[in-house]
Amino acid sequence: MTFRVGLVGCGSIAAELEDLLRAVPGYFLFPYGHATLVARHPRTELVAIADPDPRRREAIGDRFNVAARFADHHALLESVPVDIVAVAAPTRFHARIAIDAAHAGVKGLFLEKPVAETLRDVDAMIAACTAAGTATVVNHFRSFDPLWRRAAQLVQSGEVGRLTGITAVWVDGVADGGSHLLDYLRVMTGARVTWVQAFTQGAARHVDPGGTFILGLDSDIRVTVHMEWGSKAPPQVDVFGTAGMVRLGNFQVQRWRFEEVADRVVPVEVPFPGRHDGRSAMTVALDELLDAIEYGTRPVSTLEDGRDVLGITLAVLEAGRTGCRVDLPFIDLDAAARAES
Ligand SMILES: NC(=O)c1ccc[n+]([C@@H]2O[C@H](COP(=O)([O-])OP(=O)(O)OC[C@H]3O[C@@H](n4cnc5c(N)ncnc54)[C@H](O)[C@@H]3O)[C@@H](O)[C@H]2O)c1
């Protein structure tokens, strides 16, 4: 079966960002755009697009040969039968689009992150999707990256021993880039964040601040995140255990075992048992959404997981604002995390 997809939002993450990344030496996780993904995937077809900006709408329509072009998602949903809606508009519009699509009876939603700005919006999205039986997947791309998945399995299988801590150097704001990391930490550790302390910075210049924050997990370990706005440093996650450590970078994972050598315990680098299989994270995410629609399986990152990520994001922002530790779950349904787009 071929799934008919409607794309709402024809901006950067539709195709432009992928065009940019293709010019970066060594970058190979493609497709990395909703239009490029759907157009190339053997089981999907891009049948309609919506964007209020005629320039961007026409650019995507012409490039991907889509005749059905609309200024908003209402017109798209009313005019063209679609199985899946890809929600790639700015974050503040995600809830309205997702809820209307679920009410219109679409089978699946491919949602951009952050899933929404407030927990109240996400709760309304979850209610609409649950009532309509709409499957969801969220483009937290580290959680779907085959190499990072393999690293998560390795950690869960006890290869580094008992986890003792995690440090991460990350990019962009807490709500924006941070959502990828926060979701991946859940996938890798299987643990929940129970408290947060934070020093945030950059809010004056940026809607979505960066900063340094500590997450306390219910497995009794701490995650320290350093996220400097404007930094061009590649992301890195170091996972420490009693028996070794794993270091995740963009396209590589390194591994060390702590071994006794001449009466001293030293880190000895050992090969990582796995390579990137070349599939892009978005391809894996779309495959999992199609499986969810056809077989009722659960994608690794769903709207419910996006809610957890937003709750942690809001706690980090609150802790940064107040200078106080914030315990989770975060309960202010109307506090907003605003990302750049
Ligand atoms: N997963 C990732 O790695 C990743 C990367 C970039 C952006 N994003 C997310 O994707 C979303 C879009 O970001 P972007 O960088 O493409 O932004 P963008 O500003 O480049 O593009 C957004 C597009 O949506 C259009 N738009 C505005 N209001 C709309 C509406 N109501 N309905 C339909 N279209 C509308 C705009 O005209 C624009 O063309 C955001 O939620 C962002 O956080 C995710």
Residue-wise pLDDT for 48-107, tens only, equals 999 999 999 999 999 999 999 999 999 999 999 999 999 999 999 999 999 999 999 999
Mean pLDDT rounded to a whole number for the chain: 95
Asked if residue 113 has its Cβ within 6 Å of ligand 1, the reply is yes
Asked if residue 221 has its Cβ within 6 Å of ligand 1, the reply is no
Look-up: residue for tokens 């006794």?
260
Question: Which band of pLDDT confidence, cut at 50, 70 and 90, is reported for residue 233?
Answer: confident
Higher per-residue pLDDT: 274 or 98 = 98
- Give the pLDDT confidence score for residue 224 in this predicted structure: 98
- Give the pLDDT confidence score for residue 214 in this predicted structure: 98
Distance in angstroms (rounded) separating the CA atoms of residues 74 and 233: 41
Asked if residue 15 has its Cβ within 6 Å of ligand 1, the reply is no
pTM: 0.97
Share of the chain above pLDDT 70, in %: 98
Question: Which band of pLDDT confidence, cut at 50, 70 and 90, is reported for residue 341?
Answer: low
Higher per-residue pLDDT: 208 or 69 = 69
pLDDT of 340 > 70? The answer is: no
pLDDT of 204 > 70? The answer is: no
Asked if residue 338 has its Cβ within 6 Å of ligand 1, the reply is no
- Give the pLDDT confidence score for residue 203 in this predicted structure: 54
Q: How far is the CA of 336 from the centre of ligand 1 (A)?
A: 18
pLDDT of 177 > 60? The answer is: yes
Mutate to test the pocket of ligand 1, among 8, 12, 87, 280 (most ligand atoms within 8 A of CB): 12
- Give the pLDDT confidence score for residue 206 in this predicted structure: 60
Rounded mean pLDDT, 155-175: 94
pLDDT of 205 > 70? The answer is: no
Peptide bond into 234 cis (omega under 30): no
Rounded mean pLDDT, 307-336: 96
Q: Which residues of 159-173 are buried (b: 16+ CB within 10 A; e: fewer)?
A: bbeebeebbbbbbbb
Question: Which band of pLDDT confidence, cut at 50, 70 and 90, is reported for residue 310?
Answer: very high
Q: HSE, CB side, 13 Å, CA atoms: give it for residue 39.
A: 19
Asked if residue 69 has its Cβ within 6 Å of ligand 1, the reply is no
Cα dihedral sign, 272-20-299-291: negative
Asked if residue 190 has its Cβ within 6 Å of ligand 1, the reply is no
Q: How many Cβ atoms from other residues are within 10 Å of residue 291's Cβ? A: 15
- Give the pLDDT confidence score for residue 57 in this predicted structure: 98
Decide if 68 contacts 49 (C-beta within 8 A): yes
pLDDT of 303 > 70? The answer is: yes
Closest by CA position to 341, among listed 154, 29, 93: 93
Asked if residue 93 has its Cβ within 6 Å of ligand 1, the reply is yes
Rounded mean pLDDT, 181-195: 98
- The first and second tokens of residue 282, run together, are 């978005």
Distance in angstroms (rounded) separating the CA atoms of residues 13 and 24: 16
* 203 φ/ψ angles, rounded to the nearest 5 degrees: -65, -25
pLDDT of 135 > 60? The answer is: yes
- Give the pLDDT confidence score for residue 32 in this predicted structure: 95
- Give the pLDDT confidence score for residue 229 in this predicted structure: 78
Closest by CA position to 33, among listed 8, 54, 48, 16: 16
Rounded mean pLDDT, 181-187: 98
Tell me the pLDDT tens digit for each residue of 8-25: 999 999 999 999 999 998
Mutate to test the pocket of ligand 1, among 112, 140, 170 (most ligand atoms within 8 A of CB): 112
Q: Is 193 helix (H, G, I), strand (E, B) or coil?
A: strand
Asked if residue 10 has its Cβ within 6 Å of ligand 1, the reply is yes
Tell me the pLDDT tens digit for each residue of 238-267: 999 999 999 999 888 999 999 999 999 999
- The first and second tokens of residue 249, run together, are 């970078």
| Least confident span in 68-77, 183-192, 272-281 | 272-281
Indicate which residue's Cα is closest to atom 41 of ligand 1: 91
Asked if residue 224 has its Cβ within 6 Å of ligand 1, the reply is no
Question: Which band of pLDDT confidence, cut at 50, 70 and 90, is reported for residue 172?
Answer: confident
